[in-house]
Structure 1
Amino acid sequence: MANEKISPGMQQYLDIKAEYPDAFLLFRMGDFYELFYEDAVKAAQILEIGLTSRNKNAENPIPMAGVPHHSAQQYIDVLVDLGYKVAIAEQMEDPKQAVGVVKREVVQVITPGTAVDSSKPYSNNNFLVAIDRDRNQFALSYMDLSTGEFYVTELQDFAAVRSEIQNLKAKEVVVGFELTEEESHILTKQMNLLLSYETTAYEDLHLIDTKLTELESQAASKLLQYVHQTQKRELSHLQAALHYEIKDYLQMTYATKSSLDLLENARTSKKHSSLYWLLDETKTAMGMRLLRTWIDRPLVNAQAIKERQDIIQVFLDQFFERSDLTESLKGVYDIERLASRVSFGKANPKDLLQLGQTLTQVPVIKAILESFAAPELDKLVKDIDTLPELESLIRSAIDPEAPATITEGGIIKTGFDERLDHYRQVMREGTSWIADIEAKERQASGITTLKIDYNKKDGYYFHVTNSNLSLVPEHFFRKATLKNSERFGTAELAKIEGDMLEAREQSSDLEYSIFMRIREQVEHYIQRLQHLAKSLATVDVLQSLAVVAENNHYVRPSFNDQQIIAIEEGRHAVVEKVMGTQEYIPNSIHFDAETSIQLITGPNMSGKSTYMRQLALTAVMAQMGSFVAADKVDLPIFDAIFTRIGAADDLISGQSTFMVEMMEANHAIQRASAQSLILFDELGRGTATYDGMALAQSIIEYIHDRVGAKTMFATHYHELTDLSRTLAHLVNVHVATLEKDGEVTFLHKISQGPADKSYGIHVAKIAGLPNQLLNRADHILTDLEAHSAKLTEEIVEPETLVPEVKQAQTQLVQEQLSLFADEEDSQVLAKLRETDLMNLTPMQAMNLIFELKNML
């Protein structure tokens, strides 16, 4: 390429591409956006478009691919969805008037975190995140460019940063510092994020409050800089950066939210069968986004929760008014995003009509809220700004049948602008005016064949044959002479022709300029529109929660500060909705002030996990202000929920199920307080029996003695139930079963006390394993249990053992039985014989087991 002469146009392309090396460059050439070189090769493959070449006859033809400018958005969406950036280079002058190469500039860079103009309808937030660091302290700022929301906080460590990025479901992160290799690997490889780097801060006193910490200001300023660099325009819809604290909300990691299926079903990644699916009776896109936020960030402030509950109660108590309210919200469009389109300069007539239609609904909504006559709604009513002057402007200016385009006319209503009305009258009536002139002059002149014709050269003219030239009136003037006739004009005809020509040429330009002027006027209302959007979204979410509460017979929970959990006949709200109320078996959950741990035993498939999730889901619903699925509920306000439910390898980071399990357990134990809720399901099963049991017991003891959090610990280690004798704040519960004629039925009901046996073989039967296999397993189990009991009796009388030693001894015998029954001289048995079991502490017993296992 170096030896070949580059054309001025290609040199321009190369110069622009050098400024945007990490983006696909769409280079406007006439009616197409063209891509060249490597961009063309990659885009042709990704977008499945034709790959051609420029300078086909050259030694090294330049690869080229293009997409039509009018349908470019769908191709841009594909690239951005896949995590690429796209730079749009437009022609900045009319090619007909350009001297030399047409001037081109990049007018916008679209990235995964800044995409706002997707061709696909969507209602979820698209958050762009920025992170910064000062020594060991981090700041995180995030923004949704399509709504103008802008937030910032400080975080203590990189783990918290990672968790918050996951919670925000961000696709792109702007990094303001040098990442370590490990941090970079986590963000790019494990989390699949696009990283963009920005070290320059954008100073904006209006958007970045001086009350923010220096580190928060840095993160927010760098995020602003990146947004301005990519969008290349003033963004009047951006809201001031709002400081928030993670601890101001119920804290949950991304893994916890996923295991509880809060915003999507973890197995299907779909909305269906999630809490969001259950609670979503919203009627507006703004309401849908706010509902997701409330689910994602439940409250920890009792007064704020009560305010939401009070309004839901008002809506429940007045069915007819609420029905009217729900109906009125159906006419509300996404004014939050419409405001951003105005700010971006992308709002079209259809957008303004949607905004106008929404504003006509706002007084109706306000009047319905006032009709409730409830003081609980006073603040909501007061916050609803009807913006009558903006509604009037749009109603009087924009034609209800206006097209989506802004250059072809038909936008502005008749009666809004005198000059435009005149143009339209001329275009509409000009032809009949000419016909009237023709008839009038024919009669006045006596030329019976007189007629008006038109051509591009002469315009409108009177056609007079040579035989009638003597009858031509004095006010006619000659325009052209032909062989058998002449063409004449008049001042009146010339005026109408001028008016018609001006109307044709100027009408659409005038409409365009009027529309742009109206759009500028709308821009002045952006902040008030954003405030209105928040108010309408709040109304929408609260009515949605009221509808769901009524349809599903939910109750209003109360809160206490004695750390008491009292749920009467509670249900897992989502499972109940999926199964139906007839099939679902409710469970009561009780923790008195002195109880911190419930140890749950019982067979797999019997409902332990559902029982645990029921409590967490009830807490989440209660703290977001919703009513809950139960007959009666009284809860403490939790500051955090930690879960380890279900097994999953983290293959990308090379971590086994057990490692993930231990990391999540550590996260909970290190961060939980006495006001937290911990749910651990089958912890320790990912390793050898003794390892797992030792860890499980140690974790239970640690939470009991040092953390004090309300904890549900489901386990298949029945031996752990003996802990209730030594741990004062632990109680045993189990899943009830019914045995009849050798058949077992899981009742899915939680009862007090420990389970008396395991039902693994029965679960295998439900799973459909062959009968021959199941019968053999039954036989082996009977032999093992009998042999174990006999050997245990021979070694020592069980009733003389302390519970911990009895537990260790029984496990030990079962583990060694088949290996050493006939090996009298075995080292292991010798060690066992010389051990004084009666004087072992629990820890010595566990260490002995560990030593014997190593000897094997």
Structure 2
Amino acid sequence: MSDASAATSPAIIPPDATPMMAQYLEIKQAHPDCLLFYRMGDFYEMFFEDAVNAARTLDIALTKARPASWARTIPMCGVPVHSHESYLQRLIRQGFRVAICEQMEDPAEAKKRGSKSVVKRGVIRIVTPGTLTRTALLDSRAPTGWPAVAEAAGGLGLAWLELSTGELVVQPVERAGLGAALGRLDPQEVLVSEKLCQSPRPLRAVGRMEVPPDRAADSALRQRERAAAVAHPLRRRHAGRLRPVFPCRGGAAGALVAYVELTQKGRVPRLSPPRRLGPGAVMEIDAATRRNLELTRTLTGDRRGSLLATIDRTVTGAGARLLAAQLSAPLTNPAAIAKRPGHGCVRAERGAAARRPAARRCAAAPDLERALSRLTLGRGGPRDLAAVRDGLAQASAIRLLLNGHPGGPLPDGLGAVAKGLGEHSELVQQLTQALAPELPLLARDGGFIARDYSYALDELVTLRDESRRLIAGLQVKYAGIAGVPALKIKHNNVLGYHIEVTATHADKLMSEKGREVFMHRQTMANAVRFGTVELSDLERRISEAADKALAVELELFNDLVEEVTSRAEAIAQAAHALAALDVAASLAELAAERRYRRPVVDGSLAFSIKGGRHPVVEAVLDAGNAGPFVANDCDLASDNRLWLLTGPNMAGKSTFLRQNALIAVLAQMGSFVPAESAHIGVVDRLYSRVGAADDLARGRSTFMVEMVETAAILNQSGDRALVILDEIGRGTATFDGLSIAWACVEHLHDVNRCRALFATHYHELTMLAGKLPGLSCHTMRIKEWQGDVVFLHEVTAGAADRSYGIHVAKLAGLPGAVVGRAEEVLTILESGDQNAAIHRLAEDLPLFSAALKRPPPAPAASPAAPPEPSRVEEALKSIDPDSLTPRQALDELYRLRGLLS
């Protein structure tokens, strides 16, 4: 059999397999969809196809192994245990799932069973994108929501779990809204019920997301199906916890809990009581709109340059995650918005300038949420205990600051934060006394319990770390008893610790009195060696001290972990309160720094922005000292709810559209906004069709993507939606595009009746202002000066008379000949009589039936000055054809001919 054919693990265990390889194959067959990290000493080894895939992905050496008695070699590679997390992270990002297989016993125990016995091994956890908990594998400032989707009672149930913090949320979703809900969570992994897998239509929303390479997709699906099957008995176990919250959604939440138990091999972390998110509780923003508005990432996938990066002033990972979650899920209930650590809290914190810096310093606490999750999951270490200690200490300090520092009464939001911080002085004191100043990463490394915390441990540590001092003390003691100052205590591998004196002093230790203490062990030519019961006991205790000290430390560690987990709910509340305070202080800092104002958010249909600014563009301008951002108003009143915005390229239409959408998002997430004032009636759905992009992987051109996104907007928008559309119809022929844009404007006005900003280069659409009462025309102001165009970036009532596209082309560097020819063609096109056709179109949109004629080619060079008229031309000017008889006309013709000769 060739090496290539041996790359895949055998379906059955070959009879000639070594005990170790048989063990490996048995474990691998139980986890066929995972890369198996098989622990062998200081390395995690991989074999067969796992080795090939891992070596290619990690760019590490692929070697070959030939197990004893096998006639073939097999691929093999490995990664060091001490640095495996960096390799693990790369594999997870590439879509792999990894099963961690550890040695479950000491190799010495295996040897006791026989020379051919293999060390017991077992998979302790399965690592997937949604089950990451280790600090090294996580972005401390990014949420890791992990959703499950299940079908129940004719609808869909969505649940998501933040495994690293224990937060569990359930929500009913409509099938059409599944994509928007998943876009809000931006998950790396989605758990789908087996029933839903058999009905592909609802999964189109999942399919639009990035999926792992096909090498992992099929196996991931099989694993999810198994998780769904396992979930049924577990749902009964957790029914009292899940079903009262939302009866028909327990399936999705139950599957999540089951999948966690499956991947964590029976361990389930502390889970918060499930929180129900009702229908329509958050602003629905589909994935295309999130991408177009660059809420959390730019179009290139970077965090820098996004709205989140621009507004983030948080000082903790938990605060950054909460801010990101709130930005991704703006609320739709005005009362709930006011209670978020935003409007009211920001107002209070912005006014309390003396309190805010101190609050921000106190809020800079360790990541309590993730430390608590690791401890409850059994993966925590001494540093996680220290994080709990320091975080709770910070919580106490900030609670005193909020309750006692001057700065006015606390608003409801901050009052709830102060209450949630709680009282934890007893636990903080215990952890302070228990933990050493310097802590190892892992508990098994020992040395993390402070002195004087445990007498038994101190005694063992003394034996372990101060054996020389103890031996020196015994040496002084025995020298005094024997009366031999030269007595020494020595050590060798044969006798261990022993007493040695010269032969001349041996009689003193062998005397009757000496034999009560000393026992003769060995006589040599120049020295005699002795032992004592006390010395033998000390030697035994020293040799056992290290193991016993570690065992005692681990026992104390478990006690401390139990103490922490018994108070998990109170600690989790304090962690959330610290994160909320960090967000409130961050938004207050942002408002003070960037001159943001508190918006009015209510249940009306108003949308009135005075002096609105684009938060990201303004920040970039300020950072580059490029001048102030030009602010603009926007008032989408009921009789003015649809703005038709015209104007040239580069004048700022897209910026104006986006800034109003971003102001709505900021207002409903609980932040102040970049405007002089803002009154926003709650927006339940936000749609944006701005910019051009293709989807070649699914066979969609730029125009097709544009039409798909536009169709979603027109099919789903209601009167509470906010829609921004830019250049609809520009991706096809002129008359086709104008027809589509015309019909879209009418549909938005008559059917959707939503608040909308519609930017276009089709000036013909301005004719609709006389037909649609809710439509008003606005344009971007420009100024022409000495042949150049100056973009003022101001929005004003009216319509643009032309696009100035050729001017933009000139600025872009098109050759002068091309620019000149374009101007000539434009002059010819604009000379045609099209007004009648446009007026007919405004009354009833017919199909365009006329096409512009192509102008003749322009001459190669500019024509010379006209010559003087010839004699023939002068004669022709003097002839009046209408007064000539046929005979006279014939005579004139002969005369003209004669003039040519």
**Residues 294-319 of structure 1 deviation map (CA, whole Å, 9 limit, x = unaligned):** 11111111122234312111111110
Give CA deviations for 1:498-551 in whole Å, capped at 9, x if unaligned: 544443442232222222222222222222221111111111111111100000
Map of 2:362 onto structure 1: 328
Q: C-alpha separation between the residues in 1 aligned to 2:137 and 2:261?
A: 24
Q: 2:731·2:737 contact (CA, 8 Å) conserved in 1?
A: yes
Residues 178-212 of structure 1 show CA distances to partners (whole Å, capped at 9, x for unaligned) of 33456667745863155432332222337742224
Structure 1 440/401 Cα, relative in aligned 2: closer, same or farther at 3 Å?
Answer: same
Residue 733 of structure 1 pairs with residue 778 of structure 2: yes
For the 8 Å contact 1:475–1:490, the answer to whether it is kept is no
Flag the 1:574–1:6 CA change in 2: closer, same or farther, 3 A.
same
Match of 2:417 in 1: 380
Q: Which residue of 2 aligns with 1:363?
A: 396
Determine if contact 2:269/2:374 at 8 Å carries over to the other structure. Answer: no
Aligned equivalents of 2:496, 2:441: Cα separation in 1: 34
Task: Measure how far apart 1:806 and its partner are.
Answer: 11
Q: Does 1:410 align with 2:447?
A: yes
Give the match for residue 895 of structure 2: none
2:795 is aligned to: 750
Work out whether 1:299 is the aligned partner of 2:331.
yes
Matches of 1:547 and 1:207 in 2, distance apart?
A: 43
Name which of 268, 272, 277 aligns with 2:309: 277
2:358 corresponds to which letter in structure 1? D
For residues 564-586 of structure 1, the C-alpha deviation after alignment (integer angstroms, 9 at most, x for no partner) is: 33222211111111112833111
Q: Identify if the C-alpha distance between structure 1 residues 104 and 287 changes in structure 2 by more than 3 Å, giving closer, same or farther.
A: same
Distance in 1 (CA, whole Å) between partners of 2:208 and 2:850 is 47
Residue 56 and residue 189 in structure 1: after superposition, are their counterparts in 2 closer, same or farther (change >3 A)?
Answer: farther
TM-score using structure 1 length:
0.89
Unaligned runs of 5+ in 1: 820-856
Match of 1:166 in 2: 183
SS of the aligned residue for 1:172 comes to coil
8 Å contact kept, 1:236–1:526 = no
* Cα displacement string for residues 55-102 of structure 1 (whole angstroms, at most 9, x for unaligned residues): 268431222222222222222211111111111122222222122232
Equivalences for residues 657-696 of structure 1 within 5 A: 657-696=702-741
Aligned to 1:14: 25
Question: Are the aligned partners of 1:126 and 1:144 in contact in 2 as well (CA < 8 Å)?
Answer: yes
Q: Deviations over 1:271-302 (max 9, x none)?
A: 22211112111011110001001111111111
**Amino acid across the alignment from 1:650:** D
Which residue pairs with 1:48 in the alignment?
A: 59
Q: Is the 8 A contact 1:339 1:526 kept in 2?
A: yes
| Contact 1:132/1:215 (8 A) holds in 2 | no
Distance across 2 between alignment mates of 1:318 and 1:391: 29
Residues 434 and 453 of structure 2 are in contact (CA less than 8 Å); yes or no, is this contact kept in structure 1? yes
The answer to whether 1:815 aligns with 2:815 is no
Call closer, same or farther: CA 1:206–1:357 in 2, change over 3 Å: farther
| Whole-angstrom CA distance in 2 between matches of 1:563 and 1:247 | 16
Q: Is the 8 A contact 1:77 1:118 kept in 2?
A: no
Q: Name the CA distance, whole Å, in 2 between partners of 1:489 and 1:455.
A: 13
Match of 1:156 in 2: 174
Asked whether 1:524 is paired with 2:566, we answer yes
Task: State yes or no: 1:95 paired with 2:107.
Answer: yes
How many angstroms apart in 1 are the aligned matches of 2:480 and 2:205? 91
Describe the shift of the 1:419–1:716 C-alpha distance in structure 2 as closer, same or farther (beyond 3 A): same
Partner of 1:782: 827
Q: TM-score, normalised by structure 2?
A: 0.85
Identity of aligned residues (%): 34
Any idea what SS the aligned residue of 2:136 has?
A: coil
Distance (whole Å) between structure 2 residues aligned to residue 30 and residue 149 of structure 1? 37
- Rounded to whole Å, the distance in 1 between the matches of 2:480 and 2:750 is 114
- Are the structure 2 counterparts of residues 442 and 222 from structure 1 closer, same or farther at C-alpha, using a change threshold of 3 Å? closer
Determine if contact 1:88/1:109 at 8 Å carries over to the other structure.
yes
Equivalent position of 2:557 in the other structure: 515
Q: Distance in 2 between matches of 1:699 and 1:335?
A: 51
1:199 and 2:216 equivalent? no
Which whole-Å CA distance do the structure 1 matches of 2:608 and 2:828 have between them? 44
Match of 1:471 among 493, 501, 508: 508
Q: After superposition, give the CA deviation of every residue in 1:18-60 in whole Å (9 maximum; x if it has no partner).
A: 1111111111222222211111222222222222233268431
Paired residues of 2:613 and 2:630 also in contact (CA < 8 A): yes
For residues 612-656 of structure 1, what are the alpha-carbon distances to aligned partners after superposition, in whole Å with 9 as ceiling and x for unaligned? 111111111111121111222222221111111111112121122
> Which deviates more from structure 2 when the two are superposed, residues 406-415 or residues 114-123?
114-123
Q: Which amino acid aligns with 1:511?
A: E
Contact 2:153–2:248, Cα closer than 8 Å, also in 1: no
CA radius of gyration, larger in: 2
Any unmatched runs of 5+ in structure 2? 2-12, 857-901
Matched, 1:315 2:328: no
Cα 1:181–1:304 change in 2 (3 A) is closer
Matched residues in 1 for 2:106 and 2:45: separation?
A: 18
Structure 2 CA distance for aligned equivalents of residues 309 and 20 of structure 1? 50
- Number of residue equivalences: 808
Query: What is the alpha-carbon distance in structure 2 between the residues aligned to residue 521 and residue 673 of structure 1?
Result: 52
Could you say if the C-alpha distance between residues 754 and 497 of structure 1 is closer, same or farther in structure 2, counting changes exceeding 3 Å? same
- Contact 1:609/1:681 (8 A) holds in 2: yes
Q: State the distance in 2 between where 1:358 and 1:477 align.
A: 56
* Alignment partner, residue 92 of structure 2: 80
Q: Does the aligned pair in 2 maintain the 1:73–1:118 contact within 8 Å?
A: no
What amino acid is aligned across from residue 329 of structure 2 in structure 1? R
Cα distance change of structure 1 residues 236 and 156 upon mapping to structure 2, 3 Å threshold: same
**Per-residue CA shift, 1:315-339, capped at 9, x if unaligned?**
1111011111112222x01110000
Out of 506, 524, 542, which is 1:483 matched to?
524
**In the alignment, is the contact (CA less than 8 A) between 1:618 and 1:629 conserved in 2?**
yes
Q: How far apart are the structure 2 equivalents of 1:589 and 1:660? A: 28
Of residues 320-329 and 421-430 in structure 1, the stretch that sits farther from structure 2 once superposed is 421-430
In the TM superposition, residue 404 of structure 1 has moved relative to its aligned partner by 2.1
How far is the alpha carbon of 1:412 from its aligned partner? Answer: 0.8
The answer (yes or no) to whether the contact 1:476–1:488 under 8 Å persists in 2 is no
Q: Does 1:636 align with 2:681?
A: yes
| Counterpart check, 1:146 vs 2:137 | no
